[in-house]
């Protein structure tokens, strides 16, 4: 069972500002999810290979060839703020 404190920790990592009542709601949702997943624990999986992906694909690589990049105007078009070809962001103190 997941606790309110764990929800707070996850929210902080995700930069979510949750109100107290939202924390309770999220805890209920998370616990419901974990219960579903817990079913896997009851299965016998000794002969099952661990997988990290849902496909059997491997070794998808590209040759090392450089191509044209996006024009800078297009790149910066979606930025909330841009100046002199740079993305502008709020000041970062923790450098």
Q: Nearest to residue 12, comparing CAs of 1, 26, 28? A: 26
Residue 89 in contact with another protein, rule: CB under 8 A = yes
Which three-class secondary structure state does DSSP give residue 16? coil
Among 16, 28, 33, 75, binds another protein (CB under 8 A): 75
- 60 part of the interface to another protein, by CB under 8 A: yes
The distance from CA 84 to its chain's CA centroid, rounded to whole angstroms, is 31
Contact in structure between 58 and 49 (CB atoms under 8 Å): no
Q: What's the min distance (Å) between Cβ of 63 and another protein?
A: 6
Question: Among residues 38, 39, 40, 62, which is the contact residue for another protein, using CB under 8 A?
Answer: 62
Q: How far is CA 82 from the centre of its chain?
A: 26
Question: What does the binding site for another protein look like in residue numbers (CB under 8 A)?
Answer: 9, 13, 15, 52-55, 57-67, 69-70, 72, 75-76, 78, 81, 83-92, 94-95
């Amino acid at each position: 069972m997941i606790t309110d404190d764990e929800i707070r920790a996850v929210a902080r990592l995700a930069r979510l500002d949750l109100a107290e009542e939202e924390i309770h709601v999220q805890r209920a949702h998370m616990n419901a999810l974990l219960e579903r997943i817990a079913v896997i624990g009851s299965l016998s999986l000794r002969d099952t290979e661990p997988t990290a992906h849902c496909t059997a694909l491997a070794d998808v690589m590209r040759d090392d060839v450089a191509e044209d990049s996006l024009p800078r105007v297009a790149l910066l078009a979606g930025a909330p703020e841009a100046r002199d070809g740079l993305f502008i962001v709020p000041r970062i103190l923790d450098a």
